[in-house]
Amino acid sequence: MERKIIQTDKAPKPVGPYNQAVRVGNLLFCSGQISINPKTNQVEIGDVKSQAKLVLENLKALLGAAGASLSSVVKTTIFLKNMDDFADVNEVYASYFTTDFPARSTIEVSALPKGVDVEIEAIASLN
């Protein structure tokens, strides 16, 4: 199957040797998004809710660049620096995914890139 690289300036530039997203067939694999403002390319460290909102806005922009939307997402993985932030991130997440929720995993990690508290990756179906 052909691989198509998805890039947009409406989502943060990669901070390493990876692509923002890769489409293979009808599946879109979105790299983990963190709270980087795509206009300034600077990390915005605020409370975990504001970070989660920016992360999901970045994910939404990335999906849009591939002709998809949040409703196309079939699986997400949330990485949290502190599992005590689960309820706050979940509240923000629920304001973006309101029906037909994707499958999801949430994992606590010891650290995330650029010192952020939350990162979210996604897989979307482009049927």
Residues 6+ apart with CB under 8 A from 38: 9, 10, 11, 12, 13, 58, 61
Q: Is the pLDDT of residue 65 over 90?
A: yes
pTM of the full predicted structure?
0.96
Residues 6+ apart with CB under 8 A from 88: 47, 48, 49, 52
Q: How many Å apart are CA 119 and CA 112, to the nearest integer?
A: 7
pLDDT in tens, 5-18: 999 999 999 989 99
Class of domain 3-125: alpha beta
Asked if 35 and 120 count as a contact pair (C-beta separation under 8 A), the reply is no
Domain ranges of the chain: 3-125
pLDDT in tens, 104-121: 999 999 999 999 999 999
How is residue 16 annotated by DSSP? S
